[in-house]
A and B are shown apart, each in its own frame.
Chain A
Amino acid sequence: MDASIQKKMNRRKAIASLLVLAGGTAAVYSGVRWRKLNTAPDLVKLQAHKDLITELAETIIPATDTPGAKAAGITPFIISLVTDCTPRREQNRFIEGLIEVDGYARAEYKRSFIKCSTEQREAVVAYFEKRDRPYKGLLGKVSKRIMGDSFFTIMKKYTVIGYCTSMKGATEGLAYDYVPGRYVGSVKLQPGQKCWATE
């Protein structure tokens, strides 16, 4: 095995392995919540919330001088990841989170998230971003192991992956070089230099 594959594996372990590490740890943590998170999720709800997912993704990666998440059209990809690449506990936390977002928007602004203004959406997302930040250190590791990733961590991660690997995100938001044809080890950064889309 070569270093690049291994580094990717390490990286996945550190960051994105969250994706597909199914099952595993026994319930030291027992309790109603844990059990609830392990029941079969109602994935049909994802389709019902697809506009909410789209607007959440756009709030995380908005259109600027380059396309945002909405223009990149990544909602079906996010739904595919939640449906097919996500452990059950995180599927449940994700669906729960979507419902909570709408509940919070209604409580604060008397309207659903997608009806909120940009400023209101940002305030809602700021609340969930802060609420769901992973605990630091050991507590974070234990919590993640038993409960899986929090709602917003999943939402943000899938938005990032979806955007950066989408056609618009990769070719306009980032710098995508389909067939480089050469390797140059040292070049000066160009003004406005984007990060390479693939490694």
Chain B
Amino acid sequence: MNPNIKAVKQLTYDAIVIGSGISGGWAAKELCEKGLKTLVLERGRNVEHITDYVTTLKTPWEFKYHGLNTSKDLEEDPVQSNVYNEGNKHFFVRDREHPYIQEKPFYWIRGYHVGGRSLTWGRQCYRLSDLDFEANQKDGYGVDWPIRYRDIAPWYDYAEQFAGISGQNEGLSQLPDGQFLPAMEMNSLEKHFRARVKKYFDGRCVTIGRVANLTKGWNGRTPCQYRNLCSRGCPYGGYFSSNAATLPAAMATGNMTLRPFSIVSEILYDKDKKRATGVRVIDAETNEVTEFYARIIFLNASAIGSAFVLLNSKSDAFPEGLGNSSSMVGRNLMDHHFKVGAMADYHGMEDEYYIGRRPVGIYVPRFRNLGDTASQRDYLRGFGFQGYGEREGWEYTGLTEDGFGKAFKEKLTRPGKWSFWLGGWGETLPYETNVVTLDLLQKDKWGLPLAKVNFSIRENEQAMRKDMQQSAMEMLEKSGFSNISGFDYKYVGGECVHEMGTARMGHNPRTSVLNGYNQMHDVLNVFITDGSCMTSSACQNPSLTYMALTARACDYAVGQLKKGEL
């Protein structure tokens, strides 16, 4: 046998998945379970479930800084340190090792390791509805989604049933019900708020957050223990992550090869066959370059990461980047704008408390611009609120009460007053000029160009923010709260860590990158099912939609493969 042919054969798989975060993990599981020999490429280190959650069992006093960041952290990681702390810093990149260019302030918060951001995500899971899937078509921003709710609904069922999402069905058309594990309980003040909002606000609902934390044993994983330390990794498997759920399922098939430290610099393309043939990989540790080949490729490197790979995959056929005949790759970058809402105190319920640290708060589904006149406002789309009630702890009382000594200590160590926090998460419209490009002059340590991000929110989002603050204050007022204060902290793009839209789905190959099955219009054996694919952002936390779209795309891709279409 010709040694070169042998080498190629060894490096050939049925499928390649680029990325091991939430959507990459799902692609790995689905493709492996359907019998495909699948290579999963992750640019960072391996993180073994449980074994590599090195801080997960630590008490606050076992950390040198008891969990706080140092001045050096702030200086060295000006972006990531906004989110990390001493307990989970190792699941975020070092900013200096992974530079990018902010043409306007934009926080690109990332973790380069097996599992990606599925280890540190917020875990809230909400379905999109036809209010979202029809939005672009109705108001003309962006392009029409090529799917409707009925196309994705069974895949939401499927994703929820595997991942394990706790929550409560509320029968709302704008936030469809799902296949939920038993809901977590609200505390006394949250129950009060729910009842008041129901009484005074027609059509508004306060529900418990729908969250990928288990309220009972599920698929071999242990229920949430209410430690609220999720972002350190959970030794119980109490929340959904690639590491705890999808990758073990993929591994169990015997079909998965997981390759850490594998930076994909480009996807290889054969212009005669009009298909992608494989990927070029730089070993993150040795810089060795290897090519791997497969019949289908799933690109799940995150909205900015996947845009980067496409833009960097230049060929005669695609001088502007793979599958970019529409020039839409990298464009329409979206995030959810937030950090706006209201806080208040509540007098009463002084003999009430709670036990346990629930890893989710309450959710107020969208109530603006639902299609009727009453909910219509002078801006487009809408927002939802997250929030929670609590009795303030020493973190507040210790730093706001004057004095010192015994009297101060007494206040410090008792449950403080009840307070409530309500913050909006708003839809951002797709703007073609919110864009990821490559800077060809500046290179990282692997010689790859730097991603360059230019993102801002505009008039529509600003108008929405005013309403977010006002309506939060109004709901707290009517619910009997006092000392109500609205807030609007300066939102920086990317801070919500919901990057979306850089390879959008659409009907028309001239204006979109992917079709209704997340398949590239231009390159039929490449599928993209991370946040890149989102045609609009809606206002719901998006990860559940990536899970459902990934499972759906895998089903389609394997069907096409079997029919000989790919």
Chain A residues near B (Cβ < 8 Å):
1-7, 9-11, 13, 15-16, 19-22, 59-62, 64, 66, 68, 77, 80-81, 84-87, 122, 125-126, 129, 133, 156-157, 160-162, 164-167, 170, 173-174, 176-189, 193-199
Closest chain A residue to B67, Cβ basis: A165
The reply on B201 being an interface residue by CB < 8 A is no
B165 CB to nearest A CB, Å: 14
A178 CB to nearest B CB, Å: 7
Chain A residues within an 8 Å CB radius of B185? 183-186
Stretch at the interface among B132-140, B240-248, B404-412: B404-412
Asked if B409 and A2 sit within 8 Å, CB to CB, the answer is no
Asked if B191 and A185 sit within 8 Å, CB to CB, the answer is yes
B406 CB to nearest A CB, Å: 6
Stretch at the interface among B90-98, B144-152, B249-257, B354-362: B354-362
Q: Which of B198-220 contact A (CB under 8 A)?
A: 209
Q: Can you pick out 22 interface pairs between chain A and chain B where the beta carbons lie within 8 Å of each other?
A: A1-B495, A10-B489, A16-B399, A20-B71, A81-B68, A85-B68, A85-B71, A125-B405, A129-B403, A129-B404, A157-B398, A165-B61, A167-B59, A182-B226, A185-B185, A186-B187, A187-B352, A187-B354, A194-B413, A195-B391, A195-B413, A196-B415
Chain B residues within an 8 Å CB radius of A176? 59
Choose one: B74, B228, B398; the contact of A20 (CB below 8 Å). Answer: B74
Q: Known contacts A62-B406, A187-B355, A199-B357; is A157 also within 8 Å of B399 by CB?
A: yes
The reply on B366 being an interface residue by CB < 8 A is no
Chain A residues within an 8 Å CB radius of B410? 64
Asked if B353 and A60 sit within 8 Å, CB to CB, the answer is no
A180–B224 CA distance with the chains assembled, in angstroms: 10
Stretch at the interface among B155-163, B382-390, B457-465, B518-526: B382-390
Chain A residues within an 8 Å CB radius of B46? none
Closest chain B residue to A77, Cβ basis: B66
Chain B residues near A (Cβ < 8 Å):
59-61, 64-75, 82-83, 122-124, 184-188, 190-191, 209, 225-228, 231, 338-339, 350-361, 386-388, 390-391, 393-400, 402-406, 408-410, 412-416, 421, 423, 487, 489, 495-498
Asked if B405 and A62 sit within 8 Å, CB to CB, the answer is yes
Asked if B400 and A15 sit within 8 Å, CB to CB, the answer is yes
A160 CB to nearest B CB, Å: 4
Nearest 9 A/B pairs, CB to CB = A2-B122, A183-B356, A160-B398, A185-B185, A180-B356, A3-B386, A165-B66, A165-B60, A185-B187
Q: Known contacts A3-B387, A60-B408, A194-B413; is A161 also within 8 Å of B66 by CB?
A: yes
B475 CB to nearest A CB, Å: 15
A136–B440 CA distance with the chains assembled, in angstroms: 51
Asked if B75 and A4 sit within 8 Å, CB to CB, the answer is no
A108 CB to nearest B CB, Å: 18
Q: Known contacts A22-B75, A64-B406, A181-B225; is A160 also within 8 Å of B399 by CB?
A: yes
Q: Known contacts A125-B404, A181-B225, A183-B184; is A188 also within 8 Å of B82 by CB?
A: no
Q: Known contacts A180-B227, A185-B190, A194-B414; is A6 also within 8 Å of B423 by CB?
A: yes
Chain A residues within an 8 Å CB radius of B123? 2
B71 CB to nearest A CB, Å: 5
A199–B394 CA distance with the chains assembled, in angstroms: 10
Chain A residues within an 8 Å CB radius of B184? 183
Choose one: A85, A122, A162, A184; the contact of B69 (CB below 8 Å). Answer: A85
Q: Known contacts A20-B68, A195-B394; is A7 also within 8 Å of B356 by CB?
A: no
Asked if A183 and B404 sit within 8 Å, CB to CB, the answer is no
Asked if A177 and B353 sit within 8 Å, CB to CB, the answer is no
Closest chain B residue to A3, Cβ basis: B386
Asked if B187 and A199 sit within 8 Å, CB to CB, the answer is no
A156–B361 CA distance with the chains assembled, in angstroms: 31
A173–B61 CA distance with the chains assembled, in angstroms: 14
A174–B354 CA distance with the chains assembled, in angstroms: 15
A117–B185 CA distance with the chains assembled, in angstroms: 51
Chain A residues within an 8 Å CB radius of B398? 157, 160-161, 164
Chain B residues within an 8 Å CB radius of A157? 398-399
Asked if B59 and A178 sit within 8 Å, CB to CB, the answer is yes
Choose one: A16, A122, A166; the contact of B61 (CB below 8 Å). Answer: A166
A126–B409 CA distance with the chains assembled, in angstroms: 15
Chain B residues within an 8 Å CB radius of A5? 83, 122, 231
A114 CB to nearest B CB, Å: 17
A112 CB to nearest B CB, Å: 19
A29–B155 CA distance with the chains assembled, in angstroms: 60
A22–B78 CA distance with the chains assembled, in angstroms: 11
A11–B489 CA distance with the chains assembled, in angstroms: 12
Chain B residues within an 8 Å CB radius of A195? 391, 393-394, 397, 412-416
Chain A residues within an 8 Å CB radius of B414? 193-195
Closest chain B residue to A66, Cβ basis: B413
A54–B360 CA distance with the chains assembled, in angstroms: 38
B234 CB to nearest A CB, Å: 12
Choose one: A1, A20, A61, A189; the contact of B415 (CB below 8 Å). Answer: A189
Asked if A183 and B351 sit within 8 Å, CB to CB, the answer is no
Asked if A64 and B409 sit within 8 Å, CB to CB, the answer is yes
Chain A residues within an 8 Å CB radius of B495? 1
Asked if A129 and B402 sit within 8 Å, CB to CB, the answer is yes
B184 CB to nearest A CB, Å: 6
With A165-B67, A182-B356, A184-B185 already in contact, 5 other A-B pairs whose C-beta atoms are closer than 8 Å: A60-B408, A62-B406, A68-B409, A181-B226, A194-B415
Chain A residues within an 8 Å CB radius of B406? 62, 64
Closest chain B residue to A6, Cβ basis: B423
B337 CB to nearest A CB, Å: 12
A156 CB to nearest B CB, Å: 7
A34–B386 CA distance with the chains assembled, in angstroms: 42
Asked if A2 and B74 sit within 8 Å, CB to CB, the answer is no
Asked if A2 and B124 sit within 8 Å, CB to CB, the answer is yes
Asked if A85 and B65 sit within 8 Å, CB to CB, the answer is yes
Asked if A180 and B70 sit within 8 Å, CB to CB, the answer is no
B325 CB to nearest A CB, Å: 35
B171 CB to nearest A CB, Å: 22
Asked if B70 and A6 sit within 8 Å, CB to CB, the answer is no
Chain B residues within an 8 Å CB radius of A178? 59, 227
Asked if A59 and B390 sit within 8 Å, CB to CB, the answer is no
B216 CB to nearest A CB, Å: 12
Asked if B393 and A199 sit within 8 Å, CB to CB, the answer is yes
Choose one: B64, B82, B228, B400; the contact of A199 (CB below 8 Å). Answer: B228
Asked if A20 and B73 sit within 8 Å, CB to CB, the answer is yes
Chain A residues within an 8 Å CB radius of B353? 187-189, 193
Asked if B415 and A179 sit within 8 Å, CB to CB, the answer is no
A13–B209 CA distance with the chains assembled, in angstroms: 25
A180–B349 CA distance with the chains assembled, in angstroms: 23
Closest chain B residue to A164, Cβ basis: B394
A110–B133 CA distance with the chains assembled, in angstroms: 77
Asked if A170 and B387 sit within 8 Å, CB to CB, the answer is no
Closest chain B residue to A72, Cβ basis: B61
B215 CB to nearest A CB, Å: 9
Choose one: B354, B388, B397, B421; the contact of A184 (CB below 8 Å). Answer: B354
